[in-house]
Chain A
Amino acid sequence: MSGSYGTFSTKQEEKRKRTVPDRVLIRRVYEYAQANKRNLKIGVTATIIGAFTGLAAPYMHAMAIDRIIEPSLTDSKNLMGFFWWIPLFVAIVLSNYVFQYIQTYQMRVVGENVVAKMRDDMMEKLQVISLRYFSEGETGRIISRPTNDANTVRIFLRVGLTSILVDVSSILGSFAIMFYLDLRLSLLAISVLPVAIVLVWYLGKYSRAIYRKTLITTSGLTAIMQEDLAGIKVTQAYAQEKEREKKFIKRQDENVKATIRAILIGSSYTPFVIGLRLIGTLIILFYGVNAVLGGVITIGILVAFTEYQFSYFMPLVDIVSMYDQYQSAMSAIERMFDVIDTKVEVLDVAPERSVALS
């Protein structure tokens, strides 16, 4: 959401097309992460292993039902199976916990340091670039770079990047396990996937367009707020508070209306996603039940499938909704590098080397 910070950004700024390709930006951000290379390596590794250990739980459930509980109905000796199952299950849960811990912590260290360093560089650059840069009207846009843009990137690195890593690993891991368990059921389970991707993508695109419109009304609201505060002395001197308030309320209502519309459209695509997931569940259940009855698969596998279907569908929706955050983070990164890369026109000697005139 921080993409809508745009406190000072003008309409043009929001509409501006990005020119630098993503991979260039990512590489440059990666360079900033070099100082925390170790943290990054540990963090990414922990994220991927953590996602896999998280996926092991449903598989363990399937094993508990298929290999221990179900056979123990006829032969209670089978319960001894819990002897190996419990320590293994606990170990998996605990390692999942540990990896998540490492991941959260290390990625936080990397994210915070990268943004801080970029911001420091920006501030340093701002002190030396030509004063022309600070001409009236430009200042608002410059200010928003080390503040709003840096914040967008910070939030993206803190939440977005990790979830993308976790989501991708979960999806791939789910697929791997599903295919391992039963090929045909897996193919059926992911049959709704292409439809889901297309649907989520298009609905997402539509809602993003609406969302961008709210950004414009938000900047309109910000603009009038700023103007009214800057001109407050004049307003008070002429006792025109009521008049200004009317204008403000009108702008605000426009913003509220646009936002409500965006919420309506944004929330209307979740039923479709849920519906598709439902179709997937039905296919699994229908085919699965027959397969179990026909002795093709076990109950445990069926149970595991219903779980895995859940564990790849949700991350998928997550990733698609993350796209917007990713885009605004990329634009923010581009704008930040814009400042960092500005050529210094009037480079003069460092203050400590300059000669005092007095």
Chain B
Amino acid sequence: MSIAKPLVDYAKSLKPKKSFTQSFSAFKRLTKYHKKYYWFIVAITILALIRSILFSLEPFYTTLIIDKVLGQNNISLLWGYLLIIVLAGIGYAISNFFLIFVHGVMSQYIVRDIRTEYYRSLQGKSFSFYDSMSVGDLTSRATVDLQMVDMFLRSWLGTVLNAVFFTIIIIVIIYPISPVMTLISMATMPLIFYFTTRLWVDTMPLFRNMQLILGRLTSYIQQNIVGMKTIRIFRREKDAVDGFKEVENIYVNTAISAGKIQSIYMPLGPAILTLGIALVYVYAGYSLTIPGSLLTVGDIFLFARYMMRLTFPLRDLSTTLGTWIAAYAGLERVLEMTDAPRNVEDQPDAKEIKIEEGKLELENVTFGYARDRPVLDNVTFAVQPGEKIAILGATGSGKSSLIYLIPRFYDIQAGSIKIDGTDIRQFKLDSLRRQVGVVLQDVFLFSGTLKENIAFGKPDASMDEIVRAAKAARIHDFIESLPCGYDTPVGERGVTLSGGQKQRITIARALLTNPRILIMDDSLSFVDAKTEQEIQAAIEEATKTRTTLIIAQRFSTIKTAEKILVLENGSVAEFGTHDELIRNNGVYKKVYETQFIQKASPILEETGDT
């Protein structure tokens, strides 16, 4: 199977369905974000009205110049008309400026609101959400996709109002001059409206597909580049490119068919409007020759001028429709994530509860990432306050899943997990997680200083506390050896730390919050002996007084644990002290003999139940 198969299938599965109604409900939702800013809307409406009126004045007075000044040879009126044209022009320029500005500010505020809501919702999503999403994709939704929404929000209301106001004003001006000519010129409007709608309805699904394919294509490229090593190792380069080309081809074809529809309909509006002017001319010429006609050459000019001017708001309107298509696809991608279920949430009756002792009980716990495929099946065991449990198991045995359940990174499907006799779902999530310290397998440091990273869980910690935690985690000496000490920047643009150093910083981070229960995923392998010793010392220090669950790879870790839990295919295979399990003659003994005994022989004698 080709690597690109899911992508190719996805691109092929996109049928150009009528997404018109969908777009309408997205639009309704977007208008809701405007609610807070009704003063902006009032201002935009007033400015748009002023702008439309002023925009319509210039042709009106140019006509007067033609009729009164030229027609009646009255040069004295010229200055007055020119002055009005100037004033109207200046007024137009100013109102236009304010309109663009106010509209722009509103769009910024609305985009900010949508992004904040998006960000907030992402913060509340459970680990299972992040298991299936890529960071790059989620980020580009908040930036690239929202930029599309921003483009639309920058001008849409002003453009729509402008088109409406301007059309009304023009009708009001030209109707008294000649009702028949007005009707003739307006007769083309329904046609223009029809074709504009057709353009919209026909191209929208295509553009939406393009946007969606592009989104997927982007994450595909990301995966390809990030996973380049793997692709090279398995020699899948050709596959990767072929699949990419296939999807790129689908995209190009969709873009071209959309272009075809656009090229048919887009120039149609102005063309129809211009043909309408021809009709007006014919009628005007005819009625001019009728004796007693009140029509003047200036009137005809006025008609023509206004109809030409109508093409501008019309063109703006179709541009806005174009930006809406992109904005809609973008908005859809953002809201899709905002609306995705949180999965793990506070129960209505959840409380702030203090963990006093740290007794941990799991009873018939069943959990799976997919409902029908349990990763943990009926797991039951208890940890006494202050006890340290080492968890052992092969890859896929459910070790990581098990420890992730305790701070409720995932919710269990059946059974119960209790801390000090209280079900963890009774705790407020915040309250639970603040008291359960976690050292995750991937050691993530935020950009900032070392100090800030250690104090991550307790931003108001004193320097004393920070140093104490760093000392306990055996990282203090290293930090002190750096030129900037605790103020050394880390993260993207900071110093590069080794995996072992990062891990000890994350241990310090966990220790600083002084949790009653500590959960550690010590799956870090490939470290040198000295680093291992240091990490070992850090872990021992960290776990001294607290209830600890630790996923262990090294025997040195296991030997210090009171009890050992062996997981096999999601079930507890063995649970007990080292001696008990050795006597049991089960899995543990086998693992112990094959994996640890040679490596750890010098300290073997010291082990036993501590």
Contact = CB atoms under 8 A, between A and B. Distances in A.
A113 B248 CA distance: 10
28 contacts: A1-B151, A7-B136, A7-B139, A69-B288, A79-B289, A85-B281, A108-B259, A116-B251, A123-B245, A127-B228, A127-B240, A128-B237, A134-B225, A142-B225, A232-B125, A234-B440, A234-B506, A237-B440, A249-B116, A260-B104, A263-B105, A267-B97, A271-B97, A274-B93, A278-B85, A278-B86, A281-B89, A285-B62
B433 interface: yes
A238 B89 contact: no
A223 B492 contact: yes
Nearest to A286: B82
B394 interface: no
Of A85, A101, A256, the most chain B CB neighbours within 10 A belong to A101
Contacts of A105: 259-260, 263
Given A271-B93, A278-B90, 17 more contacts: A100-B267, A101-B263, A105-B259, A116-B249, A126-B228, A137-B492, A147-B218, A229-B139, A233-B444, A237-B409, A238-B434, A239-B430, A249-B116, A263-B104, A271-B97, A293-B69, A351-B238
Given A123-B221, A268-B97, A68 B433 contact: no
Contacts of B263: 100-105, 108
Contact of A123 (B229, B241, B271, B297): B241
Given A100-B267, A282-B85, A307-B308, A218 B285 contact: no
Given A100-B263, A285-B62, A233 B130 contact: yes
Interface string B60-80: 001001100110010100100
Contacts of B429: 239
B522 interface: no
Contacts of B433: 236-239
Contacts of A222: 139, 143
A286 B78 contact: yes
Interface stretch (B107-115, B162-170, B531-539): B107-115
A239 B434 contact: yes
Contact of B285 (A72, A147, A240, A289): A72
Closest 10 CB pairs of A and B: A108-B259, A104-B263, A263-B104, A76-B289, A238-B457, A127-B237, A100-B267, A271-B93, A267-B100, A278-B89
Contacts of A64: 281, 285
A271 B94 contact: yes
B465 to A, nearest CB: 15
B138 interface: yes
Interface in B445-496: 446-447, 456-457, 459, 491-492
A26 interface: no
Of A230, A243, A248, the most chain B CB neighbours within 10 A belong to A230
B284 interface: yes
Nearest to B255: A112
A237 B447 CA distance: 18
A347 interface: no
A33 interface: no
Contacts of A289: 65, 69-70, 75, 78
Contacts of A57: 274, 308
A206 interface: no
B295 to A, nearest CB: 10
A131 interface: yes
Interface of A: 1-2, 4-5, 7-8, 57-58, 61, 64-65, 68-70, 72-73, 76, 79, 82, 85-86, 89-90, 93-94, 96-97, 100-105, 108-109, 112-113, 116, 119-120, 123-124, 126-128, 131, 134, 137, 139, 142-143, 146-148, 151, 218, 221-223, 225-241, 243-245, 248-249, 252-253, 256, 259-260, 263-264, 266-268, 270-271, 274-275, 277-278, 281-282, 285-286, 289-290, 292-293, 299, 302-303, 306-307, 350-351, 354
A143 B222 contact: yes
A64 to B, nearest CB: 5
Contact of B89 (A86, A228, A274): A274
Contacts of A264: 101, 104
B43 interface: no
Contacts of A241: 123-124
B285 A225 contact: no
A225 B142 contact: yes
A105 B62 CA distance: 38
A221 B457 contact: no
Given A233-B127, A238-B434, A351-B238, A131 B229 contact: yes
Contacts of B251: 112, 116
Interface of B: 58, 62, 65-66, 69-70, 73, 75, 78, 82, 85-86, 89-90, 92-94, 96-97, 100-101, 104-105, 108-109, 112, 115-116, 119-120, 122-125, 127, 130, 135-136, 138-140, 142-144, 147, 151, 154, 214, 217-218, 221-222, 224-226, 228-229, 231-232, 235, 237-238, 240-241, 244-245, 248-249, 251-252, 255-256, 259-260, 262-264, 266-268, 271, 274-275, 277-278, 281-282, 284-286, 288-289, 297, 300-301, 304, 308, 407, 409, 429-430, 433-434, 438, 440, 442, 444, 446-447, 456-457, 459, 491-492, 506, 509, 513
A243 B458 CA distance: 10
Given A221-B143, A227-B492, A307-B308, A134 B271 contact: no
Given A82-B282, A232-B122, A97 B267 contact: yes
Contact of A230 (B66, B116, B135, B459): B135
Contacts of A134: 225-226, 228-229
A286 B271 CA distance: 32
B85 to A, nearest CB: 7
A346 B54 CA distance: 68
Given A147-B221, A307-B308, A230 B85 contact: no
A119 B248 contact: yes
A225 B143 contact: yes
A271 B70 CA distance: 30
B92 A93 contact: no
Nearest to B119: A248
B94 to A, nearest CB: 6
B78 A270 contact: no
A307 B251 CA distance: 41
Of A82, A126, A221, the most chain B CB neighbours within 10 A belong to A126
Contacts of B101: 263-264, 267
B268 A97 contact: yes
B409 A233 contact: yes
B259 A281 contact: no
Contacts of A4: 147
A36 to B, nearest CB: 11
Contact of B297 (A69, A76, A89, A112): A69
B147 A1 contact: yes
A139 B492 CA distance: 12
A270 B93 contact: yes
A281 B58 contact: yes
A149 to B, nearest CB: 11
Given A230-B135, A281-B58, A351-B238, A65 B274 contact: no
Contacts of A143: 136, 221-222, 225-226
Nearest to A57: B274
Contacts of B229: 131, 134
Contact of A256 (B112, B222, B407, B456): B112
Contact of A7 (B89, B143, B440): B143
Contacts of B143: 5, 7, 218, 221-222, 225
A151 B251 CA distance: 12
A351 B237 contact: yes
B359 to A, nearest CB: 21
Contacts of B218: 147
Given A65-B301, A143-B136, A281-B58, A238 B456 contact: yes
B457 A240 contact: yes
Nearest to B228: A134
A72 B440 contact: no
A37 B434 CA distance: 65
